[in-house]
Amino acid sequence: MMNKAIQMDGQKIWKALLQPSQSSLEYRQWRDRLLRRRFWLAIGLAVAYLIIQGVADFYEVFVNAERLLQNLQLIERTDLLPLIQQHYTLHKVTAIVLLIGLSLLWNWRWIRKHPAMILILFPWAVAFIPEIILGAFIGIPHRPSLIMFMAQVAIAPVYWQLHLISQAVPILFYLLVYPLLGLASFAGQSIYSFSSIIEIILVCIICEVGVYLFEQSKRLELEANRRLQLCIHSITHDLRTPVMGSLMLLKSIRQHSSVNQPIEISQTEMEQLIQGGDRLLHLMNSLLIPQAFSYPELVLQCHSTHLSAIVNTVLKDFHPSLVKQNVRVNNGIQSDLPLVNVDAQQIGRVFKNLIGNAISHNPSGISLTLNAKRSRSMLKVTLEDNGIGIPFAQQETLFEPYMRGQQTQYLPGLGLGLYICRQVIVAHGGAIGVQSLTQGTMFWFTLPLSEV
C-alpha cells in the first residue's frame, strides 16, 4: 500500500511538472507537436556536434599528442596521456551508442506520447553520461556543458521545469559528487573557480527565464487565437439569425405573390424585416466598439456628479429584468457620498454592463450588493453577487476584448462589455478589477472625486 501511495504521489508530481494548471489543451498539443518535430533535428545537430568536437579532440589528443605530452611534462603528469586518450575514445563511442538508443527508443509509443522525456534523456545522452559520469569512472572530471544547455533551449524552448531538472542533475553531480570521489582537482589544479560557477548559474538562469517567457508569449498567442475563433463563431451565429429570418420571410412573400404583379407586404412582415435589419446594424456597430473605446480616442465630458443618481437611473432601467430574474438588490450607494468628477453617460454604461452580466450569467434568485467608499482622492465602488463565480484562470484576461468564458460562449454578444468597462474607467484615471472564489463575484473600480 505504501509503495502504491508513493507511486501515485510520484505520478501526481510528474503530471504537475508536465501539465501545469495554467496550460490550455491547445498549448499542450502545440508543445508536444513541437517536440516531435524537433526530435530528428536534435539528433542531427547532436551528430554534427560530436563530429566537430571529435575532429578537434582527435587532433589535440592523437595527431598533436607530442604537444599535449609536453604540456603534461610541465606538471610532471605524463601518465595522464593514455588516460586522456582513453576518455576521448570512450566519450565519443558512448555518446554515439546512447544517441542510437534514443533513436530506437523514439519508436516506443509511450515516449512518443510523452515527448517531454526526451528533454531529460537527450542532453544526458550527449553530454552528462559520456562526459561527467564516464569522466568520474576514468578519473577525468568535466564541468557541465554550457553549449548543451543553450542548444537544448534553442531546440526545445518549452517545459522550463524539465530544463531545470536536466541542468540541475549534472551541476549537482559536478559540485557534490566529484569532491566525494576525490576529483575536486585534476593535474594539480582545482576544477572549481568562483567565476566558472557563477557563469554556470547565470547561463542556467538565462535559459530558464528565456524558456518561461517564450512559453508565456505562446500561451497568450494561442489564447488570443482561441478568443478570435470564438468571436468569429459568435459573429457568424449572430449574423445568421437575422439574415435567415429575413431571407425566409422574403422567400415566403415571393412564393405567395403572383408573377408580374406588385408584391404586397403586411405591416407585421415589414416590422420583422426592420427588426432583422436593426439587429444587423447593431452587430456591425458592436464590431466598431473596440476602436471607439480605445484610449485616448475615448472623449469624456466630465462633471461633478452624485454617483447615486447614476446608479438609481440604471437600476430603474433594469427593474423589469431584476424582477423577472428575482434578483434582490442592496443599494448602498447613497446621496451623502462625495461628488465624483465623471462622465455620467459612460459611468452609467459601466454599471449597465456589470449589472447586466450579473443578471445574464447567473441563475435567478441571486443577491446583488452595491457599495462605495472614499479611498484617498478616489471613490471605490464595489458590485458583489452571490452567483456561480468566475474561474481563477479566466480572471486575468477577463477585461480583454472578445473574452468569453465557457459558460457564456453560447449567449449573444461579442464579449466586449468588460473591455468597455476597463477602457472607460482607465480613461477616468481609475482602476478596475475582479475578485471571485468558488462562489460569488465582486467587481470593483475607482473614480476620481470632484475638487468642488
Residue 297 inside a domain? The answer is: no
Q: What angle do CA 166, 169, 171 make, to 5 degrees?
A: 105
Q: What is the DSSP letter of 158?
A: -
Work out the angle between the directed axes of helices 25-58 and 80-105 (0-180°, nearest 10): 150
Q: What does the pLDDT read at residue 409? A: 44
Quote the CA–CA distance of 241 and 245 in Å, as a whole number.
Answer: 6
Maximal CA-CA distance, the chain? 115
Report CA-CA distances (Å) from 310 to 113, 316, 351, 434: 58, 10, 9, 21
Q: What does the pLDDT read at residue 293? A: 60
Same domain, 215 and 319: no
Q: What angle do CA 40, 143, 116 make, to 5 degrees?
A: 30
- Give the structural domain span for 80: 16-224
Residue 1 inside a domain? The answer is: no
Residue 6 inside a domain? The answer is: no
Same domain, 63 and 175: yes
Task: Provide DSSP, 147-203.
Answer: HHHHHHHHH----HHHHHHHHHHHHHIIIIIHHHTT-SEETTEES--HHHHHHHHHH
Span 251-273, mean pLDDT? 72
Last residue of a domain, one of 200, 224, 248: 224
Query: Could you tell me which residues come within 8 angstroms of residue 116 by beta carbon, excluding any fewer than 6 positions away?
Result: 18, 32, 35, 159, 162
Q: What does the pLDDT read at residue 229? A: 73
Same domain, 186 and 311: no
**Class of residue 278 by CB neighbours under 10 A (exposed 0-12, middle 13-18, buried 19+):** exposed
Q: What does the pLDDT read at residue 445? A: 96
Omega of the bond prior to 123 within 30 degrees of 0, cis?
A: no
Span 16-25, mean pLDDT? 57
Q: Which tens digit of pLDDT belongs to each residue from 307-358?
A: 999 999 999 989 888 998 999 999 999 888 999 999 998 899 899 989 988 8
Joined together, the cell numbers standing for residue 176 give: 557534490
Same domain, 32 and 122: yes
Same domain, 309 and 397: yes
Residue 199 inside a domain? The answer is: yes
Contact 263, 253 (CB under 8 A): yes
Residues 34-47 as b or e (16 or more Cβ within 10 Å = b): bbeebbeebbeebe
Q: Is the pTM of this model over 0.85?
A: no
Residue 353 inside a domain? The answer is: yes
Confidence band for 452, pLDDT divided at 50, 70 and 90:
low
Same domain, 321 and 430: yes
Contact 88, 58 (CB under 8 A): yes
Last residue of a domain, one of 203, 224, 245: 224
Contact 351, 364 (CB under 8 A): no
- Domain CATH code at residue 388: 3.30.565.10
Which residue blocks in 256-306 are alpha helix, DSSP H? 267-287, 289-292
Compute the residue count for the chain.
452
Residue 40 inside a domain? The answer is: yes
Does 6 score more than 50 pLDDT? no
Same domain, 81 and 184: yes
Same domain, 57 and 197: yes
Same domain, 20 and 111: yes
Q: What does the pLDDT read at residue 86? A: 85
Last residue of a domain, one of 224, 244, 270: 224
Span 289-304, mean pLDDT? 69
Does 419 score more than 60 pLDDT? yes
Same domain, 40 and 167: yes
Q: Which tens digit of pLDDT belongs to each residue from 67-125?
A: 878 877 777 777 778 888 888 888 889 999 999 999 998 888 888 888 888 878 888 89
Neighbours of 125 (CB within 10 A): 23
Q: What does the pLDDT read at residue 82? A: 84
Q: Which tens digit of pLDDT belongs to each residue from 351-384?
A: 998 998 888 888 899 999 999 999 888 999 999 9
Q: Which tens digit of pLDDT belongs to each residue from 158-186?
A: 999 889 999 999 999 999 999 999 888 88
Joined together, the cell numbers standing for residue 415 give: 464579449
Residue 230 inside a domain? The answer is: no
Span 428-438, mean pLDDT? 87
Query: Could you tell me which residues come within 8 angstroms of residue 450 by beta carbon, excluding any fewer than 6 positions away?
Result: 304, 305, 338, 339, 340, 341
Joined together, the cell numbers standing for residue 8 give: 501515485
Q: What does the pLDDT read at residue 292? A: 56
Residue 385: beta bridge partners?
368, 441
What's the number of CA atoms in the CB half-sphere (13 Å) around residue 5?
Answer: 2
Joined together, the cell numbers standing for residue 437 give: 472564489
Same domain, 64 and 205: yes
Span 202-230, mean pLDDT? 87
Q: What does the pLDDT read at residue 385? A: 92
Residue 293 inside a domain? The answer is: no
Same domain, 220 and 316: no
Number of domains in the chain: 2
